[in-house]
Amino acid sequence: MTILTRRAAIGAAASLLCVPAARAQEVSAGALRIAGPWTRAMRAGGTGAGFMTIRNTGTAPDRLVAARSPVAPVVELHTHVRDGEVMRMRPVPAIDLPAGQAVQLAPGGLHLMLIGLTQALNQGGRVPVTLVFERAGEVEVQLAVEGAGARGPAHRH
């Protein structure tokens, strides 16, 4: 094996070990793939938000109809809507997951609201959340807790 071939092999192996945290946190439930679940650090008593990408790889639509977490007495499905010049968050009864498409829960769009946090969400920690789907049933994910001002999940190596 030449030096260049060895370096290429070592580089390829290292890239497999350096998978971003968001990619490593993929959960499957039937035809659904849930990737990159995360939240921001928040004090106890405050309101947190949950974000992720849900891909429906199947041929039938599904819907996220509820969520719950042991760290919040209330978890709601939310969206942002424009009310005149102001963006406001509003609860939604469900989040549609069309067949063959991905739906992003992200800041400024669809998301989970964790209301009345019973404990602080500390950066570097994890928050269990159970997602309830109309077809796929219940699925637990772990939200990675990022910094208070994070705009997306960190890509740790």
How far apart CA 139 and CA 134 sit, in angstroms, is: 11
Where are the chain's structural domains? 21-146
Query: What tens-digit pLDDT sequence spans the chain (157 residues)?
Result: 444 444 444 444 333 333 333 344 799 999 999 999 999 999 999 999 999 999 999 999 999 999 999 999 999 999 988 778 887 889 999 999 999 999 999 999 999 999 999 999 999 999 999 999 999 999 999 999 999 878 778 754 3
Could you name the CATH architecture of 21-146? Sandwich (2.60)
Q: What b/e sequence results for 44-73 when a residue is b if at least 16 CB atoms lie within 10 Å of its CB, and e otherwise? A: eeeebbbbbbbbbeeeeebbbebbbbebbe
